């Protein structure tokens, strides 16, 4: 099958010139290339670099700017090597920091509580962090508090919505969510078009992002089933956590033993249970958030058919670029929802071996993407009501 590379990553070029985070009024600059004295901090991240400044009377001119800061990421209940959400966000921090000589580090809370998340942010700021990246809806309440506690720190919260917060977002904070229903739809549609008729969905916790993935998956399955005139069965459940364990593995083994062919494992490390069960029954899985093809390597076959991805890494890089380029005011104080109509924020991996479909083609995939972008394919993001399906599809919601 002919394969093309369709990049999910945002087309955001790395800036060569950097300025301190915050509004342009906070940027230290000079009309001549003079040395800027930077006081020592525990972060040891100060550096001098060139930037371009527009003035009212003249075109942009090169300036020397002192950058003093450190990027910190605080994990939610996951780890930076979870092969999913936290890792993708952390990779954005690493990518930007390494490319621009900015110091970065991460902090991992010792327990799942707002108090402990705030403790870690307190520690990060005390150790010199000027930009703090917060991955996951669990940071909604935390962000509501720390944004006023530290008005001189910039906060980038990924997958945090207004509904997750307990106070209005402040100008030193930025939050975004994604239209996960679009990525779920793509995965469900593609799986059925590739010949799968007995599918499953294993969610982590029933939080909005996971529900959107799942309900989009059902809608995509239904659309493909109607198009093909094929009857499809779907089993749907939540594990109540973002990690796999023996009980969840046993449930997945029962699904595969009863004929389930493929499971969309949607919820951080919970994929480990679906992966283990699939391998015991020659089954397949669909990954989430990032391209999880690599987690299936090293076995007799790779059980990862595809992954429903969102642009976590690219979004973090984009916002860090804006921050250190002095353009924070262009997005600070906003809560955005990012979908395909806004850019390449969601999709399936098409690079190399990650495209493992037998009959569903990249050309068909690109046509599907275009339909979502132009609005001809409508996908509901309703998380309160289970999606309606045609007679061709039966869905069993299992506690």
For residue 42, the model assigns a pLDDT of 38
Q: What's the rounded Cα separation, in Å, for the pair 90 and 78?
A: 11
For residue 59, the model assigns a pLDDT of 34
For residue 234, the model assigns a pLDDT of 98
CA distances from 104 to 42, 45, 97, 125, 282 (A): 12, 9, 6, 12, 42
Spatial contact of 380 and 387, defined as CB atoms under 8 Å apart: yes
Let me know if 352 is exposed, middle or buried by CB neighbors in 10 A (0-12, 13-18, 19+). Answer: exposed
For residue 80, the model assigns a pLDDT of 87
* 17: DSSP letter: S
For residue 84, the model assigns a pLDDT of 78
Q: Are strands 47-53 and 61-67 parallel, antiparallel or unpaired?
A: antiparallel
For residue 8, the model assigns a pLDDT of 35
For residue 68, the model assigns a pLDDT of 60
Crossing angle (nearest 10°) for helices 312-324 and 85-100: 40
Q: What's the rounded Cα separation, in Å, for the pair 70 and 133?
A: 11
Which residues are within 8 A (CB) of 287 and not within 5 positions of it... i.e. 6 or more apart? Answer: 265, 271, 293, 295, 304, 306, 307, 308
For residue 282, the model assigns a pLDDT of 97
Across the chain, which has 399 residues, the per-10-residue mean pLDDT values are 34 33 36 38 38 35 44 90 86 96 96 96 97 95 98 96 96 97 98 98 94 98 98 98 96 98 94 98 96 95 97 94 95 96 94 95 97 97 97 97
Start-end of H helices in 39-131:
85-100, 114-126
């Amino acid at each position: 099958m002919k394969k093309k590379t369709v990049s999910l990553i945002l087309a955001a070029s790395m800036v060569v010139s950097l300025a301190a985070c915050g509004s342009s009024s906070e940027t230290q600059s000079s009309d001549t290339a003079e040395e800027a004295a930077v006081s020592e901090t525990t972060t040891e991240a100060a550096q001098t670099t060139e930037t371009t400044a527009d003035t009212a009377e003249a075109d942009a001119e090169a300036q020397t700017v002192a950058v003093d800061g450190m990027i910190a990421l605080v994990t939610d209940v996951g780890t930076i090597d979870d092969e999913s959400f936290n890792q993708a966000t952390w990779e954005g921090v690493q990518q930007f920091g390494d490319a621009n000589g900015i110091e970065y580090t991460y902090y991992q809370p010792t327990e799942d509580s707002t108090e402990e998340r705030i403790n870690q942010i307190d520690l990060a700021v005390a150790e010199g962090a000027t930009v703090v990246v917060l991955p996951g809806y669990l940071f909604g309440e935390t962000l509501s508090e720390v944004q006023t506690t530290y008005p001189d720190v910039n906060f980038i919260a990924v997958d945090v919505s207004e509904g997750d917060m307990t106070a209005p977002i402040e100008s030193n904070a930025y939050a975004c969510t994604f239209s996960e229903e679009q990525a779920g739809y793509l995965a469900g549609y593609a799986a059925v078009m590739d010949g799968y008729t007995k599918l499953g969905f294993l969610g982590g916790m029933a939080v909005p992002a996971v529900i959107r993935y799942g309900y989009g998956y059902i809608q995509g399955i239904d659309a493909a089933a109607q198009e093909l005139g094929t009857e499809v069965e779907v089993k749907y459940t939540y594990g109540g956590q973002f990690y796999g364990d023996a009980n969840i593995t046993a449930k997945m083994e029962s699904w595969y033993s009863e004929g389930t062919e493929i499971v969309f494992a949607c919820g951080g490390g919970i994929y480990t249970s679906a992966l283990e069960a699939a391998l015991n029954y020659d089954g397949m899985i669909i990954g989430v958030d990032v391209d999880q093809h690599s987690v299936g390597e090293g076995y007799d076959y790779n059980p990862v058919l595809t992954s429903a991805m969102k642009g976590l890494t690219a979004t973090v890089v984009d916002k860090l670029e804006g921050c250190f380029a002095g353009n924070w005011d262009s997005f600070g104080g906003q809560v955005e929802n990012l979908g395909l109509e806004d850019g390449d924020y969601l999709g399936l991996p098409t690079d190399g071996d990650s495209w493992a479909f037998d009959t569903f083609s990249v050309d068909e995939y690109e046509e599907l993407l275009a339909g979502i972008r132009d609005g001809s394919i409508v996908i509901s993001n309703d998380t309160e009501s289970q999606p309606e399906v045609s007679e061709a599809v039966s869905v069993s919601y299992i506690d």
